Chains A and B, each alone.
Chain A
Amino acid sequence: QSALTQPPSASGSPGQSVTISCTGTSSDVGGYNYVSWYQLHPGKAPKLMLFEVSKRPSGVPDRFSGSKSGNTASLTVSGLQAEDEADYHCCSYAGSSWVFGGGTKLTVL
């Protein structure tokens, strides 16, 4: 049950695109298409942004997209906006358990 690996930080200017990676193993990310991404703003409840690698819940802008290759999943935010500045955490099902990444702080410059 080791944590997934995310870069601690990422940044981009308004309007640009940024991609955040999430690397696991064949027992979690590589073994299931059950990767999800969460946005955390200080003092607020976490928000689900993507589920099952690339599906967006209702209300999440299509600027947010996801993909997976092997043991690495990715979240791409296109057309960066100021309100996208937050912490992003990936998560994967790992067979009767769940494992999260360490989180990536996204800064909009």
Chain B
Amino acid sequence: EVQLVESGGGLVQPGGSLRLSCAASGFTFSRDWMRWVRQAPGKGLEWVADIKGDGSAKNYVDSVKGRFTISRDNGKNSLYLQMNSLRAEDTAVYYCARGWYWAFDMWGQGTMVTVSS
């Protein structure tokens, strides 16, 4: 069974940092693009970043460029999102998702990030 489990969310002050993790199982992790998507309270989904299976290509939404870094460890079947210089507008549920046929076919349950003083 394909499973994605996020962790690492929590409460952080503006300007602070957090590292999100996503543990994958049930598929050949190293073969697939992996993505982070977030949903702020009362808002729609927003794609944040993605990374190619071998880690050779990464893309980011403009609002997080220079602050967030996506990475992966294929030996540990894990995806990461290092978030620095956090802002109140980064408050959201963060999901990891698998890229499949130009879509996002499997999602985790999400982890909540709250940026507040």
Contact = CB atoms under 8 A, between A and B. Distances in A.
Interface of A: 1, 3, 6, 32, 34, 36, 38, 40, 44-48, 51-52, 55, 57, 89, 91, 93, 96-103
B1 interface: no
Interface stretch (B22-30, B44-52, B71-79, B81-89): B44-52
A55 B106 CA distance: 16
B108 A3 contact: no
Given A1-B62, A45-B108, A100 B103 contact: no
A102 B108 contact: no
A45 B5 CA distance: 10
A22 to B, nearest CB: 11
A1 B103 contact: no
A100 B45 contact: yes
B47 A100 contact: yes
Nearest to B57: A96
Nearest to A36: B103
B13 interface: no
Chain B, interface SS category: strand
Given A36-B103, A101-B44, 18 more contacts: A1-B62, A3-B44, A44-B109, A45-B108, A46-B95, A46-B104, A47-B107, A48-B103, A48-B105, A51-B101, A51-B103, A89-B44, A89-B45, A98-B35, A99-B47, A100-B46, A100-B47, A102-B44
B105 A91 contact: no
A48 B108 CA distance: 12
Contacts of B59: 96-97
Contact of A98 (B47, B101, B106, B109): B47
B47 A45 contact: no
Nearest to B109: A45
A97 to B, nearest CB: 6
A27 to B, nearest CB: 14
Nearest 4 A-B pairs (CB), nearest first? Answer: A51-B103, A98-B47, A102-B44, A36-B103
